[in-house]
Structure 1
Amino acid sequence: MGPVRAVVLAMLLTLAVSTGCTSPAKPASTGGALAAAPLAWERLSLPDGLSAVTLATQGDQVLVGAYATGRPHPRLLRGRDPASLRPVPLSPRSPYAFEARWFSLAVHGSVVEAVGGARGGAHGNYRWSTWSGTSSGLAEQEQPFGVFGSWGAGDLVGIAFAGSEPVVLGAWQSDRTGLDIATWLRTGARWRRQSSTGTALGSTSHELVSAGAIAGDGSGLILSGSVTRLQPGAIRVDPAVWTTTAAGAPWSRVDLPRQPGTAPSEAHAATCSPARCLVVGAVGGRLCAWELHGTSARRLAGIPTPTLPDNGRALAPLALGDRDLVMVPVQGGSQLLTRRGETWSTRAGPPTGEPVSWVAHGQEVWLVTRDSAGVGTLWRTRP
């Protein structure tokens, strides 16, 4: 975290006022956790003691990104069900690729792209690796150090497809102020960072932009994050998304509606269909959701507003039949929120762990949770 961001966060802690998305805050004694109906979750064991990290789907197959205790640490499994999960061959090349933990998997047709990272070097910064292939095998695409690292580099966030083009999301030092939101496009096997300063992805002396999630939207993309407004005598963090119609096309920012007040607000993730995008995030530490139609956004009414733990993030929504599913961490576990029409219901998540990745697979939901030691567990349920 840079000095500008550290100062901003410190000031926000003194200014924050807890305000919900659409309803007043619960008393502190409730911890913000709403009464949730029970739901049966099946714990799935991975071979060789692997720790689950992230998930994706490819047709009728689930891809499970995992981490092994021995080198090479990154592993990838695929299968239609837990019993059929089999290893996908991986070809790491650079030294840090053998140490990498998956940050993101993206699928388009038969193509699989991935981003991994491992801390190293004198300052313990991430050393990034990008991977490309199919479900029959992935190989690292080794990059020069300066592509994702060196002076001015921020962290990478993930990867997604704009149509058939993969795009990497991260952050990079602005030519003006703080960090810009950064994207990388690929030509052949080489990734190239796009200039953000002076665009909708760039920070200015009065607005610092940040994006923490990327998702495909047909031929385009949507980024979810926040805008920190450096106003005289006040600092305000507002939720925002950025959209583009194609890889390499200009970006547009959409500021999401929020309640008045100074409580920090942020968009965590989004999932898009041809009709609309469903965005989830937090206002004053409580769950909030928005629907986006083009550049028009509305805050959803009636959604339960559990309190998220510090640094907790809602996962990108899933569509399962005629239902929208939202998974959020809460104190002591997680909750699954379901919307059918305009009606919301709440059910309990797995008994342990913070939710970090999930997919819809047929009528099932597969979910990865992570415990306080960083160990991931794979679950499934039929909500």
Structure 2
Amino acid sequence: MRTRALVTVLVATLVAAGCGGPDGPPPLALTKVDLPGAPVTLTPSGGALLIGLHRDGQPVVPALVRRDASGAVTEIPTTTATPYGKLARWTQIATDGTRLFAVGGERGGAHGNVRWSVWDGALAGLTEKRQAFSTFGGYGAGDLVGVVITPAGPVVLGGWDNPNGGFDVATWLPSGDDWIRQPSAGTALEASREALPFPIAATPLGDGIMIVGWQFADGREQPVAWRSKSGNTGWTKTPLPAPPTAHGAAMSVSCSAAECVAAGRLDSTLALWRLTGDTWSQLPDVPTFPVSDTDVLPAPAVTPDGTVVQFIGTPDGLKALRRTGTTWTVHSTTAKGKPTAATTVGTTIYTVVDDALWSVDITKLP
């Protein structure tokens, strides 16, 4: 009987330790940010944060607010031009500090395809620009990934039918109020019989653009990054490091002037990669969490001191995976739900979890 009692105490102790007992890292106390709608997208703008909102039942559903360093929230007027523009949910909002460009979409029509809308303006207001149906729709259309602003101008990114099979990574450039699709043939964005590309996320990098996603090649899914040298020119494609038989994809990315960090999956498990200079490497010893091909994985939040924070939803609540130096720490948090977006403004990390926005000051992390 005494032996059985000792075993019971030992098992209870081990379980408590595995669940974040007194020796484990303390949970992160996230602060909920009150907003006049459900947050969808996050875009840093200097020391402020632009937050794309969705508001059911409002006269204009896609909304945009600016939260400044003091925490004050100001609404940026949005003006629609089409019925689907009034229903759109933001895909991506981009700014260079002065100009604003945005992409949104909503499913509709007989086939339930996404009806895309494009917007531009400034902090004084964002206006939808009506496009011909064939610009982003029609027989050869794919999905849009979003919009990125480079020193050479804005670029809308997505996919479009390749006449020889599959979809190319496609780009559109503005001409007045119209967006004109650019040829992908002969570039690293072109599909081939050997490799079919699938872009998922994009962000500016230096004078160019970084896109991450995956390609189907050699009978498996392979994580891939596409990078332009300047604007929409000088595209290269780089398969991301992975075991030779692994299936996977890069699903989100964030970049600073010096580096990028991408998050994704390898064999249904969380994986992260870092770009330093021109070389991608897989971050080692990432804590094991499942990630499926239907999950939305927010971009890694990278602070000025190089700390990487990756949010991931679990049945036990939101987890924050923190990498400082070469050490990973898994923090539980006070939030529940699935994260869909994350970014950093100064030392503050923001994340969208379900229909709420949360923040945490990285300098106050234990």
For the aligned pair, the TM-score class normalised by the smaller chain equals 0.7 to 0.9
**1:203 Cα deviation after fit:** 1.5
- Residue type of the alignment partner of 1:40: A
Q: In 1, distance between residues paired with 2:178 and 2:227?
A: 24
**One of 159, 166, 180 as aligned partner of 1:192:** 180
**One of 31, 52, 55 as aligned partner of 1:68:** 55
**1:52 Cα deviation after fit:** 1.4
**Does 2:42 match 1:55?**
yes
**Does 2:301 match 1:318?**
yes
**Does 2:243 match 1:264?**
no
Q: Is the 8 A contact 1:90 1:138 kept in 2?
A: yes
| TM-score normalized with structure 2 length | 0.86
Q: Secondary structure at the match of 1:96?
A: helix
Q: In 2, distance between residues paired with 1:260 and 1:326?
A: 27
Deviations 1:25-78 (A, max 9, x none): xxxxxxxx998741001222223xx21111112122221111112221111111
**Does 2:216 match 1:228?**
yes
**One of 120, 124, 127 as aligned partner of 1:136:** 124
> 1:233-248 to 2 correspondence within 5 Å?
235-248=219-232
Aligned partner of 2:30 in structure 1 is: 41
Q: Structure 2 vs 1, CA of residues 36 and 288 (structure 1 numbering), >3 Å: closer, same or farther?
A: farther
Greater RCO (Cα-Cα under 8 Å, separation 6 or more): 1
Aligned partner of 2:286 in structure 1 is: 303
Q: Is the 8 A contact 1:325 1:336 kept in 2?
A: no
Q: Is the 8 A contact 1:215 1:223 kept in 2?
A: yes
Q: In 2, distance between residues paired with 1:266 and 1:350?
A: 29
Q: Structure 2 vs 1, CA of residues 274 and 380 (structure 1 numbering), >3 Å: closer, same or farther?
A: closer
Q: Structure 2 vs 1, CA of residues 292 and 113 (structure 1 numbering), >3 Å: closer, same or farther?
A: same
Q: Comparing 141-150 with 267-276, which one deviates more in the overlay? A: 267-276
Q: Is the 8 A contact 2:311 2:320 kept in 1?
A: yes
Q: Is the 8 A contact 1:62 1:79 kept in 2?
A: yes
**1:260 Cα deviation after fit:** 3.0
Q: Is the 8 A contact 2:27 2:334 kept in 1?
A: no
Q: Structure 2 vs 1, CA of residues 350 and 216 (structure 1 numbering), >3 Å: closer, same or farther?
A: farther
| TM-score normalized with structure 1 length | 0.83
- Residue type of the alignment partner of 2:342: W
> 1:69-108 to 2 correspondence within 5 Å?
69-70=56-57, 71-80=59-68, 84-108=72-96
Which entry has the higher C-alpha Rg, 1 or 2? 2
**Does 2:150 match 1:150?**
no
Structure 2 residues without counterparts, runs of 5 or longer: 1-18
- Residue type of the alignment partner of 2:192: T
- Residue type of the alignment partner of 1:345: T
CA RMSD of aligned residues (A): 2.1
**1:256 Cα deviation after fit:** 1.2
Q: Structure 2 vs 1, CA of residues 149 and 327 (structure 1 numbering), >3 Å: closer, same or farther?
A: same
Aligned partner of 2:155 in structure 1 is: 167
Q: Secondary structure at the match of 1:98?
A: helix
Q: In 2, distance between residues paired with 1:119 and 1:317?
A: 28
Q: Structure 2 vs 1, CA of residues 176 and 295 (structure 1 numbering), >3 Å: closer, same or farther?
A: farther
**Does 2:351 match 1:362?**
no
Q: Secondary structure at the match of 1:323?
A: coil
Deviations 1:232-261 (A, max 9, x none): xxx211111011111231311111111132
- Residue type of the alignment partner of 1:341: G
**One of 188, 197, 205 as aligned partner of 1:217:** 205
Aligned partner of 1:334 in structure 2 is: 318
**1:294 Cα deviation after fit:** 4.3
Q: Give the length in aligned residue pairs.
A: 339
Aligned partner of 1:204 in structure 2 is: 192
Q: In 2, distance between residues paired with 1:193 and 1:59?
A: 30
Q: Is the 8 A contact 1:306 1:330 kept in 2?
A: no
Q: Comparing 202-211 with 82-91, which one deviates more in the overlay? A: 82-91
Identical residues among aligned pairs (%): 35
Q: Is the 8 A contact 2:300 2:311 kept in 1?
A: no
Aligned partner of 2:356 in structure 1 is: 377
Q: Is the 8 A contact 2:92 2:104 kept in 1?
A: yes
Structure 1 residues without counterparts, runs of 5 or longer: 1-32, 371-375
Q: In 2, distance between residues paired with 1:91 and 1:108?
A: 20
Q: In 2, distance between residues paired with 1:273 and 1:57?
A: 12
Q: In 1, distance between residues paired with 2:226 and 2:323?
A: 25
Q: Structure 2 vs 1, CA of residues 360 and 293 (structure 1 numbering), >3 Å: closer, same or farther?
A: closer
Q: Structure 2 vs 1, CA of residues 238 and 223 (structure 1 numbering), >3 Å: closer, same or farther?
A: same
Q: Is the 8 A contact 1:178 1:208 kept in 2?
A: yes
**1:350 Cα deviation after fit:** 4.8
**1:319 Cα deviation after fit:** 2.3
Q: Secondary structure at the match of 2:307?
A: strand
Q: Secondary structure at the match of 1:182?
A: strand
Q: In 2, distance between residues paired with 1:102 and 1:224?
A: 19
